A = this chain, B = another copy of it.
């Protein structure tokens, strides 16, 4: 009996220790890269309110849906969207198979390194570049292409991997929400299949919780194997009015919290915060020209104008990146 009791005690002790370290963890600051102040407090107040059992503002775990824009909200979008930089790299890679690109715009300018010239055709040029680089292969072949690129490509300004150009305070926010039984989703104008190969590793967000723009795919049997082939045709544009539509299609519940940084997120913020009960909207305002970039109303990338005007009346939290964030990127901490 003595021996048995003793092993019981060891077990009990480890059990108690596990609980006490849990208690310590709960007391620790869940958002250490956020400076103390009203921005950080607004997040903590919201989470505390909706998770408080028995409170009239309590939201059951299954309905704690939080949606995050990606470009400019979870990772940097300057000097250009990463997916466009990916497409440009792909054009260079594929050029030997396309001799006609030497004289055909927008490819000719791109191959000469003249990105501005290539973009002269606006959305039409972007569309041609995207379709030439994102379609024609199976979904699994495209996944491999993205994985290979993201593992090796470097950001043109910082020379860091793109997966390091993510915002440390937002990583903490994602983890904090999930620790409080929120389900976190990406809802981005970017390509859904460009994000899925790496979002779980980088953000802890699995493929099925990524919503984004997409091109059409077609089911085919190739050499006795069932595959999906990516077609050069837009299926869904997940931006502005498209974001609530995409949220409803993929998630099927109105989020109780939404996080964005541009006018492309306005409708998602309106949709999340005009439901009943306690709601939370947050805009990341890029105010730090030194550590990151400063831009808003006059920028074509991450254009933030109407949503910034709408924030006060809607009670949305506006993050002043320069004031509110102790660090921007994870690599600053190393």
* A residues in contact (CB < 8 Å) with B: 5, 8-9, 11-13, 15-16, 62, 139-140, 183, 185, 192-193, 196, 200, 206-210, 214, 217-219, 221, 224-226, 228, 235, 241, 244-245, 248-254, 267, 270-271, 274
Contacts and interface: CB of A to CB of B under 8 A. Distances in A.
Contact of A208 (B245, B252, B274): B252
A221 B267 CA distance: 9
A253 B218 CA distance: 16
Contact of A252 (B13, B62, B196, B225): B196
21 contacts: A5-B9, A8-B8, A8-B13, A12-B12, A62-B206, A139-B248, A140-B254, A207-B251, A208-B251, A210-B252, A217-B245, A219-B244, A219-B245, A219-B271, A224-B274, A225-B274, A226-B270, A226-B271, A228-B245, A228-B248, A250-B250
Nearest to A220: B241
Copies in the complex: 2
Nearest to A216: B245
- Pick the 7 closest A-B CB pairs, nearest first: A207-B252, A12-B12, A8-B12, A226-B270, A219-B241, A226-B271, A226-B274
Nearest to A251: B208
A150 to B, nearest CB: 15
A252 B12 contact: no
Contacts of A62: 200, 206
A200 B218 CA distance: 30
A334 to B, nearest CB: 27
Contact of A214 (B219, B249, B274): B249
A213 to B, nearest CB: 11
A256 to B, nearest CB: 13
B271 A244 contact: no
A1 to B, nearest CB: 11
Nearest to A267: B219
Nearest to A219: B241
Contacts of A12: 8-9, 11-12, 15
Given A244-B226, A267-B226, A208 B13 contact: no
A6 to B, nearest CB: 10
Contacts of A241: 218-219
A207 B253 contact: yes
A217 B248 contact: yes
Contacts of A11: 12, 15-16
A9 to B, nearest CB: 6
Given A196-B252, A219-B271, 15 more contacts: A8-B9, A9-B9, A11-B12, A12-B12, A15-B15, A185-B208, A208-B209, A217-B245, A218-B245, A219-B241, A219-B244, A219-B267, A226-B271, A228-B244, A228-B271
Contacts of A235: 249
A275 B244 CA distance: 33
A307 B8 CA distance: 56
Nearest to A10: B12
